[in-house]
Amino acid sequence: MNSPSADTGAAAAPDHGGGGNGLLWVLVAVAVLFAFLHPRAPMDWLRLVDWQTVGALAGLLAITQGVEKSGMLQATAQRLLARTHNQRSLAMLLTASAAFLSALVTNDVSLFLLVPLTRVLATQAHLPLARLVVLQALAVNAGSALTPIGNPQNLYLWHRSGEGFVAFMGMMGPTVAVMLFWVFVAVWLLVPRTPIELKPQAEAAPVQPRMLALSGLLFIGFVIALDRHWLLAGLGVVFGVFLVSYPRVLRGIDWALLAIIALMFVDLRQLAQLPAVVALLGHWPITEGWRAYLAAIVTSQFISNVPAAILLDGHVRDLPALAAGVSVGGFGCVLGSLANLIALRLAKLPRGLSEFHRISIPFLVVCAASALLLRLG
């Protein structure tokens, strides 16, 4: 992991550099290649996409824009900066909040709450925005691994395991403790204990309580709709209300992020279905133990940890090893977890991918080795 470097003021960049649209075009090119090599009917292509995930992200992106444009994040950032006096303390607070919230409200939702706030903080003070966001991405991948409801792969494996809620947490606890230990070590090493220097403040936009309250109500209603599997109705209400009341909110949505997520499903699911991949998994001795753990980590780097959990479930009999491996596998490559892409895109970071990998790849090596030693011990 690197020593601290000056990436202050990154928030001023106007583009959506985190993950960049370069990644979008790579995914498009891979989809075109698959279309030539393995032609499908149009409806088969659509079935490759997890529309529940894409739709949930679309609604959350709209609601996040509403909260941000209400001015509440700016006001909260000012109060937080008035009470926090050095960068490391602020980083510890944000990272701990990300880890805690991810175990309760899922990794993606915690990022939608904290990354926009972090970006606003970096507009008001000289802060290492890229470092803070990458550390939050690591924290939500670690914290969400504790509970069955923290992330999609845990939810899937929990139902497959037949374990109780608390028993599943007990199974994941040691691995999560290792991951969180290294997350806070990374904060200590990467964020200096230097005083926070405020930027000259432009005239602050007033908080719009009506927009904030509306966004809050829509968030609660949308989460209920997702829980009841009323995705289309929930999306219709969220987009309809904003279209009538605050159309500028919808113009701020990162539509490219939604395209990236959809294309990831299209490309990665086709990759996982290749006969060569299926045959390779069938011949590898990965049914249990450290081999299953390492297979889950490596597979996650290429097809993301949720598809990896589903794909390997048919080959691995050691569920604790599989669950630990796909959790640790969220680190490393940006494709290891959808949360990584969401964090970088929400932060609108220039050179976000390079900064992410400078931290996350060494972090994966250290964390994977530590968790493996724990399992072998």
Place of tokens 């250290």: 366
Q: What does residue 86 show for φ and ψ, rounded to 5 degrees?
A: -140, 160
Total length of the chain: 377
Task: Identify the pLDDT of residue 363.
Answer: 97
Neighbouring CB atoms inside 10 A of 98's CB total: 31
Place of tokens 């829980």: 227
Task: Decide if pLDDT at 343 tops 90.
Answer: yes
Residue 111 tokens, joined: 């990022």
Is residue 144 within 8 Å of residue 102, measured between CB atoms?
Answer: yes
Task: Identify the pLDDT of residue 348.
Answer: 83
Three-state helix/strand/coil letters over the chain = CCCCCCCCCHHHCCCCCCCHHHHHHHHHHHHHHHHHHCCCCHHHHHHHCCHHHHHHHHHHHHHHHHHHHCCHHHHHHHHHHHHCCEHHHHHHHHHHHHHHHHHHHCHHHHHHHHHHHHHHHHHHEECCHHHHHHHHHHHHHHHCCCCCCCCHHHHHHHHHHCCCHHHHHHHHHHHHHHHHHHHHHHHHHHCCCCECEECCCCCCCCCCHHHHHHHHHHHHHHHHHHHCCCHHHHHHHHHHHHHHHCHHHHHCCCHHHHHHHHHHHHHHHHHHHCHHHHHHHHHCCCCCHHHHHHHHHHHHHHHCHHHHHHHHHCCCCCHHHHHHHHHHCCCCCHHHCHHHHHHHHHHCCCCHHHHHHHHHHHHHHHHHHHHHHHHHC
Quote the percentage of the chain above a pLDDT of 90: 43
Task: Decide if pLDDT at 279 tops 80.
Answer: no
Task: Identify the pLDDT of residue 20.
Answer: 55
Task: Decide if pLDDT at 302 tops 60.
Answer: yes
pLDDT in tens, 128-166: 999 999 999 999 999 999 998 788 888 888 877 878 889
Task: Identify the pLDDT of residue 241.
Answer: 95
pLDDT in tens, 77-101: 888 988 998 999 999 999 999 999 9
Residue 248 tokens, joined: 């500028």
Global confidence as pTM:
0.79
Bridge partners of residue 198, in order along the sequence:
125
pLDDT in tens, 168-214: 999 999 999 999 999 999 999 999 999 999 888 756 667 888 999 99
Q: What's the CA gap between 259 and 254, in Å, rounded? A: 9
Bridge partners of residue 229, in order along the sequence:
none
Q: What does residue 125 show for φ and ψ, rounded to 5 degrees?
A: -150, 160
Place of tokens 């009341």: 245
Is residue 63 within 8 Å of residue 218, measured between CB atoms?
Answer: yes
Given pLDDT bands bounded at 50, 70 and 90, which one contains residue 334?
very high
